[in-house]
A = this chain, B = another copy of it.
């Protein structure tokens, strides 16, 4: 199968959906001629025009709010939020308005919008351009949250998100934009709320989110050399969360390590760990483990930054100890 980059996958997903549905438009900073600083959207303005690929001023709360209103009145806007760290600026529009409108109106108003943004550290971008803030929106009822782990997921999830009748926030790992994966030429969708067992195994389950799937795969390779078999579950969306697939895996392996790039405390890894501890408790052979980013603002210095996020070595080490009964 052909391989394309995650960036191309996003571009294709948007182009395909925009061709299909006139009500879709996209807005954000430097999305048109510039195609975003990451050049993810290059070419779209040439095909769809500045009427549908709209450059905004640097007004995140404002254009997020505009998207909410457009979505309530028959449009399907896609918001491009240049960095995930800017989520803090749009929280009111996203969480007080978009997330609650359907419920508050007793089901009469819909907000079918997608907010695409990114996450991920180790790009030496320092504390305000390196955060992985998906937990914040996952905590707010009414928002769906997708976490693609490769170009394949990026395309399939984004297409589903665009067709969904609810506000969906999608986090792309900015270090993965140039990573390639096999992506079919034919149209496909990945449903929101369906986890993927990325690798089967029997001794321990890794629940790994976004780029942490790659980390988990490297760790699993290292474990294999020790004769330890790891299963990898990629939830793909954290809201809705496919609890069943996760629990089934843990029930089979009896051990779990949740790996996520958000800060560990009060993070997504806590939710998954808590569900396992509640619902697969009697199947567990060792403590529920998790690994997130350190609870520190992301430092600029490369010497420090690399210490803050989960690595394959540390995942491997922790898993090995668990399987050996050392934890």
In the complex, the answer to whether B271 meets A278 with C-beta atoms within 8 Å is: no
List residues of chain B with CB within 8 A of the CB of A262: 139
Q: Say whether, besides A278-B290, A281-B288, A290-B278, A126 and B139 are in contact (CB < 8 Å).
A: no
Interfacial residues of chain A within 232-266, with CB under 8 A of chain B in the complex: 238-239, 241, 262-263, 265-266
- B99, B104, B279: the one contacting A287 at CB < 8 Å is B279
Q: Is A117 an interface residue (CB 8 A)?
A: no
- Closest approach, in angstroms, between the C-beta of A43 and any C-beta of chain B? 32
List residues of chain B with CB within 8 A of the CB of A281: 284, 286-288
Contact bitstring A262-303, B, C-beta under 8 A = 1, else 0: 110111111101101111011010111110001111011000
Q: Say whether, besides A89-B91, A266-B271, A273-B274, A141 and B296 are in contact (CB < 8 Å).
A: yes
- Closest approach, in angstroms, between the C-beta of A307 and any C-beta of chain B? 14
Contact bitstring A186-203, B, C-beta under 8 A = 1, else 0: 000000000000000000
6 additional contacts, CB 8 Å, given A139-B265, A270-B271, A279-B287? A135-B139, A139-B267, A141-B294, A266-B271, A274-B277, A278-B288
